Chains A and B, each alone.
Chain A
Amino acid sequence: MTHAANPDKLLEKLASDLENLLEQRSIENPLMIGIHTGGVWLAEKLHKRLNIQDELATLDISFYRDDFSRIGMNPQVKPSNLPQQVEDRHIILVDDVLQSGRTIRAAMNEIFDYGRPASITLACLIIRSGRELPIQADAIGQALELANNEQIKLVGPEPLEWVVKTDNDK
């Protein structure tokens, strides 16, 4: 597919996939973590929809990026907020788009600085072409084929919409 479906519809599919997956893996009482910014918007909705007890945690991976020495500090860095211990918890990590896998790599490094989780399940609304690391999502809204110079971004939080840009410089 080359066209992204409506985010709210995809969220429904992602939520039911995630529910099945948790049941299949016998995970009860997971800890949900959203990655700033898009991932947090989605995680807030998923958190309600799946009735997760523990407060939603959020991560800003700016301090763990591998391109920091190339592009510098993200001016809109937000505080990470992990009120619960991650030690021995089953974690659901939520992000909007999975492309290179570098954001997820950074997020996992950050989580491990807080402790050793029992497991991490990755939920992404869209997975697209362009992987650079061996990282895959466990629960998916939609898989999308995009050209290398196409960028897809979630804007929101109300309403959630996709913006696709073509980068002509490359």
Chain B
Amino acid sequence: MVNKATRPTDNLLGQDLWNIQLDENGQLKHFLTIEGLGSNILTQILDTAESFAGVNESIKKVPLLRGKTIVNLFFEASTRTRTTFELAAKRLSADVLNMNISVSATSKGETLLDTLRNLEAMQADMFVVRHADSGTAHFIANHVAPHVRVLNAGDGRHAHPTQAMLDMFTIRRNKGADFGKLRVAIVGDILHSRVARSQIHALNTLNTGEVRVVGPKTLIPKDIEAMGVNVFHNMQDGIKDADVVIMLRLQKERMQGALLPSEQEYFELYGLTEQRLKAAKPGAIVMHPGPINRGVEIESSVADGPQSVILDQVTYGIAVRMAVMSMTLGGNRAKSNQEEAS
């Protein structure tokens, strides 16, 4: 348990000095959201991922997390994210448990905390959590045993920090480390997108020159300018001279009510076509967190075209998740043992 004496006084709490993601030395302990993390931590994640990218290209596997147990707690369906977390853990030599919660104990009536206590009793060292409710990963991080680490693999509409970091990694690899020179346009369903929210925080923390969000009024949250972005409702204006165009998936399963007239009309107004892409800078890269809806938010010839880095994003996702896992799991077990001993 955290020592109360090390906790900043209440009047400082508003300044985000008490961030459960960081340990007493300012090192990353849980990875729940980009908010509250400095550019030093984000850069450290990217640098560490760069080393792991080398590992992935050559020997594939390193012994760093041998003996650690990582539990994938997925309360919401996911293929890409879960498998890249699993691969990342395996390439670090950790043991991985995949819990498909929808068909396990919670559906028999066990509470979330009881499930956690049971997994902890099996000596899990890390939970990778995805849940349809915002804040679930924070809740779990607040209730786990002191040695257990929590990574957020997507919570509701709130955050998907590892996706944002693999996007930053992809941008850095293609456009260099100076984000100040870059104009990044995020296009699509910003309202329902935890990916967009995390991307905006990450881009601004890394001092990106200009961050734009592009989409119909119904899919852009009110007052989003306060997050440090420029809003465009016209696609052509929105991606003009952009270095990076990030397309978001039109989240059909969350599209209830009258937010959009039809997919066809959406594509006509906001779909990324070869013709539209010409408005961006020559050599601009096209990104998408996946899964893509061909012909809805992106034309096939763009998704498979020379400017697309969509599959690179998937590959880099492994290295970035290896980086976050090793940064959060290193050194903590012995430390918590010492605390218990003294």
Residues of A within 8 A of B (CB): 60, 62-64, 68-73, 75, 77-82, 109-110, 113-114
Bound-complex Cα distance A70 to B334 (A)? 5
How far does the Cβ of A83 sit from chain B's closest Cβ, in whole Å?
A: 10
Contact of A81 with B55 at beta-carbon distance under 8 Å, contacts A63-B62, A68-B331 already known: no
Could you mark each residue 235-250 of chain B with 1 if its beta carbon is under 8 Å from any beta carbon of chain A, else 0?
0000000000000000
The one of A70, A75, A109 in contact with B44, judged by C-beta atoms closer than 8 angstroms, is: A75
Which single residue of chain B is at the shortest CB-CB distance from A78?
B51
Most buried by B among A64, A72, A79, A81: A72
Q: Does B63 contact A (CB under 8 A)?
A: yes
Shortest 3 CB-CB contacts between residues of A and residues of B: A72-B331, A72-B330, A63-B62
**A113 and B61: CB pair below 8 A?**
yes
Task: Report how far A69 CA is from B54 CA in the complex, Å.
Answer: 22
Cβ contact within 8 Å between B54 and A68: no
Instruction: Return the contact of A81 from the options B54, B331, B332 (Cβ within 8 A).
Output: B54
Least Cβ–Cβ distance between A59 and chain B, in angstroms: 11
Determine how close the nearest CB of chain A comes to the CB of B302; give it in whole angstroms.
32
Q: Do B63 and A63 touch across chains, with their CB atoms under 8 A apart?
A: yes
Q: How far is the CA of A82 from the CA of B55 in the complex (A)?
A: 11
Cβ of B342 under 8 Å from chain A? no
Q: Which chain B residues border A82 with CB–CB below 8 Å?
A: 58
Number of contact residues on B: which range applies? 20 to 34
CA A3 – CA B333 in complex, angstroms? 39
CB of A60 within 8 A of CB of B51, answer yes
Are A63 and B54 also in contact (CB < 8 A) when A69-B330, A69-B334, A109-B63 are? no
Are B330 and A71 interface neighbours, CB within 8 A? Answer: yes
Rounded to whole Å, the gap between the CB of A106 and the closest CB of chain B is 9
A63 smallest CB distance to B (angstroms): 4
Q: Contact at A79–B333, with CB atoms within 8 Å?
A: no
For the complex, what is the distance from the CA of A78 to the CA of B53, rounded to whole Å?
Answer: 11
Least CB distance from A103 to B in Å reads 15
Q: How far is the CB of A70 from chain B (nearest CB, A)?
A: 5
- B54 contacts across to A, CB distance below 8 A: 79-81
Asked if A69 contacts B333 (CB within 8 A), the reply is yes
- Interface CB pairs A-B, < 8 A, 28: A60-B51, A62-B51, A63-B51, A63-B63, A63-B64, A64-B64, A68-B326, A69-B330, A69-B331, A69-B334, A70-B331, A71-B331, A72-B27, A73-B326, A73-B330, A73-B331, A75-B44, A77-B47, A77-B51, A79-B50, A79-B51, A80-B51, A81-B54, A110-B59, A113-B59, A113-B61, A113-B62, A114-B59
- Distance between Cα atoms of A33 and B47 in the complex (Å): 22
Contacting pair A64 B331 (CB below 8 A): no
Q: Which residues of B contact A79 (CB under 8 A)?
A: 50-51, 53-54
**Is B134 among interface residues, defined by CB-CB distance under 8 A?**
no
Interface of B is mostly: helix
A77 CA to B64 CA, complexed, in Å: 13
Chain B residues lying within 8 Å of A113, measured Cβ to Cβ, are: 59, 61-62
CB-CB under 8 A from B50, the residues of chain A are 79
What is the bound-complex CA distance between A62 and B53, given in angstroms? Answer: 14
Near A by CB (< 8 A), chain B positions 17-40 give 27
In the complex, B298 has a CB within 8 A of chain A: no
Interface residues of B in 42-83 (CB under 8 A from A): 44, 47-48, 50-51, 53-55, 58-59, 61-64
B213 in the interface, Cβ–Cβ < 8 Å?
no
Cα separation A63 to B55 with both chains bound (whole Å)? 10
B47 contacts which chain A residues (CB < 8 A)? Answer: 77
CB-CB nearest in chain A for B331 = A72
Chain A residues near B195 (CB, 8 Å)?
Answer: none
Bound form: Cα–Cα A81–B332 in Å: 29
Chain B 130-142 interface mask (CB, 8 Å, partner A; 1/0): 0000000000000
Which one of B59, B327, B333 has the greatest number of beta carbons of chain A within 10 Å? Answer: B59
Measured in the bound complex, the distance between the Cα atoms of B330 and A82 in whole Å is 25
Is A68 within 8 A of B330, CB to CB?
yes
Q: Choose among B51, B59, B61, B332 the residue that contacts A72 (Cβ–Cβ < 8 A).
A: B332
Residue among A64, A69, A70 with the highest chain B CB neighbour number at 10 A: A69
Residue of A nearest to B44 (CB): A75
With contacts A80-B54, A81-B54, A82-B58 taken as known, whether A68 is within 8 angstroms of B27 at the C-beta atoms is no
Chain B residues whose C-beta falls within 8 Å of the C-beta of A109 in the assembled complex: 63
Given contacts A79-B53, A114-B59, 20 further A-B contacts (CB under 8 A): A62-B51, A63-B55, A63-B326, A64-B62, A68-B326, A68-B331, A69-B330, A70-B331, A71-B330, A71-B331, A72-B330, A73-B48, A73-B331, A75-B44, A77-B51, A80-B54, A80-B58, A81-B54, A109-B63, A110-B59
